[in-house]
Amino acid sequence: MVKFWNSFLLLILTVAMMSGLTSCKKEVTNQDLLGVVKQRGVIVAGVKFDSKPFGFIDTDQKLKGFDVDLVREISKRVLGDENAVKFQQVTSSNRIFSLTTGSVDLVAATLTINTKRRQIIDFSSPYYIAGQAIMVPEKSDIKSARNLNGRKVIVVLGSTSEKNIRELAPRAIVQGFRTYTDAFSALRAGRADALTTDDTIITGFLAEDPNFKILNERYTKEPYGIGFKKGSDTQSFQNTVNTALDNIKADGTLELLRKKWVQKYNNR
């Protein structure tokens, strides 16, 4: 019994320590992020490594994609050098944490702007509008979201599709994975009947494996935005990036990127 009380005491200690850690006041004077970035000479950007065509490792082992190019364009306008970017991998489930912990300056990772996330982080204006779609094997009898009830559906944890699928098909058996690579390989192995996520990411998968198809319906509008950490110290950085983004939109660069990455995969 002594052992039990010991572990109980330890537990209380752990909880007390954690809440102590979290509630303690930040005494470090916050340095302005824009100043930090300029001094560093490099923007640390969180992008996905597994979501073709937005952020992915190509066959030549180089990181490419819409989001990657977008960050390079931003860097060109903020720091004057499109290569002054350090890319860090984020996934759907850790991209928000990597912002809040400050391990990246911004996140451009197929991140949908929504109110729930707005409470935690800040967003730029949207730079792309995607829509949730469903992907099934070529020979599947699934025609729409309603057919998914009682069937196995793959999602990626932390994505908006994961929450939406519960409304679209409440009785679907949801299997959540941490990365798109895991999710897609599970679908390929026949572990589920369908996969649901943004149409953009699905078209990327289709380019890899033509034995699957995308259903025509789009169930949501997913405006992608660049994510920032909340706080007064990031405001000037946010403004600078937003100005750069406006510039990228105005001078037609964004349209070029869209043509380069998204249309290429849609017209397969």
**Residues that bind other proteins in the complex, under the rule CB under 8 A:** 1, 3-4, 7-8, 11, 14-15, 18-19, 22-23, 25-26, 92-94, 96-97, 100, 117, 120, 154, 157-158, 162-163, 175-178, 182, 185-186, 189-191
- For other proteins, give the closer residue by CB, 116 or 268: 116
Q: Residue 12 CB, nearest distance to other proteins (Å)?
A: 10
Minimum distance from residue 177 beta carbon to other proteins (Å): 6
> What angle (nearest 5°) sits at the alpha carbon of residue 87, between those of residues 202 and 261?
35
Q: Tell me the closest approach of the beta carbon of residue 45 to other proteins, in angstroms.
A: 20
Is residue 158 within 8 A of residue 112, CB to CB? The reply is no
> At its nearest, how many Å lie between other proteins and the CB of residue 209?
15
CB of residue 62 to other proteins, shortest distance in Å: 26
Closer of 126 and 158 to other proteins (Cβ): 158
Q: How far is the CB of 249 from other proteins (least distance, A)?
A: 29
- Cα–Cα distance, 62 to 3 (Å, whole number): 53
Residue (149 or 263) nearer to other proteins, CB: 149
25 vs 268, which CB is nearer to other proteins? 25
- In angstroms, give the least distance from the CB of 2 to other proteins: 9
- Return the number of the residue (38 or 188) whose C-beta is nearest other proteins: 188
Structural element, H or E, at residue 38:
helix 33-40
For residues 198 and 130, the answer to whether their CB atoms sit within 8 Å is yes
Angle of helix 180-188 versus helix 199-208 axis, rounded to 10: 60
In the complex with other proteins, the residue whose CB is nearer, 74 or 155, is 155
Strands across the sheet with 50-51, in order? Answer: 50-51, 55-57, 63-64
Give the span between the Cα atoms of 11 and 16, in whole angstroms: 9
Nearer to other proteins by Cβ, of 73 and 198: the residue is: 198
Task: Please enumerate, as own/partner, the contacts of 137-146 that have beta carbons within 8 Å and a separation of 24 or more.
Answer: 137/187, 137/193, 137/211, 137/212, 137/213, 138/210, 138/211, 138/212, 138/213, 140/193, 140/194, 140/213, 142/193, 142/194, 142/215, 143/215, 144/215, 144/217, 145/169, 145/217, 145/219
